A and B are shown apart, each in its own frame.
Chain A
Amino acid sequence: MLVKELLAHGFEALSLPDGEREIVGVYIGDLLSWVMGRAQMDNAWITIMTNVNTIAVASLADTSCVILAEGVEMEDDLVETARTKEVNILRSSLPIYETAVQLSKLLP
């Protein structure tokens, strides 16, 4: 499934510079080193951590997108940073578990 296809399922795009990217699997976590150690390339990464380091980790760990769950806010200048670093950021108003369940139904 492509990142941009999530928009048809209630996910909101905050930053979508590379919507054509394929999502392969999902990782959930807020501890950044944990995410860097365990997430796989092209995973969708579900988190509620919304500082500048989130963007750096998504970029360096090469996840396909960050999915902010629970409807958490991300500051405008950080969203801008995500765009310039070509990091896809989506948002779901659902809690983390429900967000993951929804992805599990959508992904092959």
Chain B
Amino acid sequence: MSEPLIFHFDVDGENFTSAGQASTQVKKNLRQLGLSPDIIRRVSIAMYEGEINMVIHANGGTADVIVNEQYIEIILADKGPGIPNVEQAMQEGFSTATDSIRSLGFGAGMGLPNMKRYTDSLEIDTMVGVGTTITMYVYL
């Protein structure tokens, strides 16, 4: 694998029921590359949490996954409302999800903490009214 592999996805903000498609596709691709189940699981969960957040909180966005020899980079970018207080958002249990979102099983306030838990590095670049870009690295 000399050239990095790049996977790009548009994440639909309207369609809740198909949310997770990009993560599911990435899982398949990583499997085909023969990566270990543990790495695949960590990347899959971190990306799914970010993908769901873009659908729930930001009306969709884009997801890019770059696979290098040393690491996997996941970039999730949206033009949603932004996160006013990142430190608060990172706390387990903090959520602004509505009741209808909660009835689907989301809104535990565990998504961002899970993204941190399962990756080696997590950066959040956000501005209120402009959007949010989250960059995660998982080292191979």
Residue ranges of A at the interface with B (Cβ–Cβ < 8 Å): 30-34, 36-37, 41, 49, 51-54, 56-57, 59-62, 85
In the complex the two chains form, what is the Cα distance from A53 to B103 in whole Å?
11
Please state if B45 and A36 are interface contacts (CB–CB under 8 Å).
yes
A43 CB to nearest chain B CB (Å): 12
Please state if B111 and A41 are interface contacts (CB–CB under 8 Å).
no
Instruction: Say which residue of A37, A49, A54, A62 sits within 8 Å of B41 (CB atoms).
Output: A62
Where chain B touches its partner, the secondary structure class is: helix
Please state if A31 and B114 are interface contacts (CB–CB under 8 Å).
no
Residues in chain A near residue B24, CB distance under 8 A? 56, 59-60, 85
Residue ranges of B at the interface with A (Cβ–Cβ < 8 Å): 17-20, 23-24, 27, 37-38, 40-41, 44-45, 48-49, 52, 104-111, 113-114, 117
Please state if B48 and A56 are interface contacts (CB–CB under 8 Å).
yes
A25 CB to nearest chain B CB (Å): 15
Please state if A53 and B106 are interface contacts (CB–CB under 8 Å).
yes
Residues in chain B near residue A33, CB distance under 8 A? 49, 106, 108-111, 114
Residues in chain A near residue B48, CB distance under 8 A? 36, 56-57, 60
Where chain A touches its partner, the secondary structure class is: helix
Please state if A32 and B37 are interface contacts (CB–CB under 8 Å).
no
Please state if A59 and B108 are interface contacts (CB–CB under 8 Å).
no
Please state if A41 and B38 are interface contacts (CB–CB under 8 Å).
yes
Residues in chain B near residue A31, CB distance under 8 A? 105-108, 110
Residues in chain A near residue B108, CB distance under 8 A? 31-34
In the complex the two chains form, what is the Cα distance from A51 to B106 in whole Å?
11
- Which of B40, B44, B107, B117 has the most chain A CB atoms inside 10 A of its CB? B44
Please state if A36 and B110 are interface contacts (CB–CB under 8 Å).
yes
Closest B residue to A30 using CB positions: B105
- 19 further A-B contacts with Cβ under 8 Å, apart from A33-B110, A51-B104, are A31-B107, A31-B110, A33-B49, A33-B106, A36-B49, A36-B114, A37-B114, A49-B105, A51-B17, A52-B18, A52-B20, A56-B20, A56-B23, A56-B24, A60-B27, A60-B45, A61-B44, A62-B37, A62-B41
B91 CB to nearest chain A CB (Å): 13
CB within 8 Å for A37 and B113 given contacts A56-B48, A59-B27: yes
A69 CB to nearest chain B CB (Å): 15
In the complex the two chains form, what is the Cα distance from A34 to B19 in whole Å?
18
9 CB < 8 A contacts A-B: A33-B108, A37-B113, A41-B38, A53-B106, A59-B27, A60-B20, A60-B24, A61-B41, A62-B37
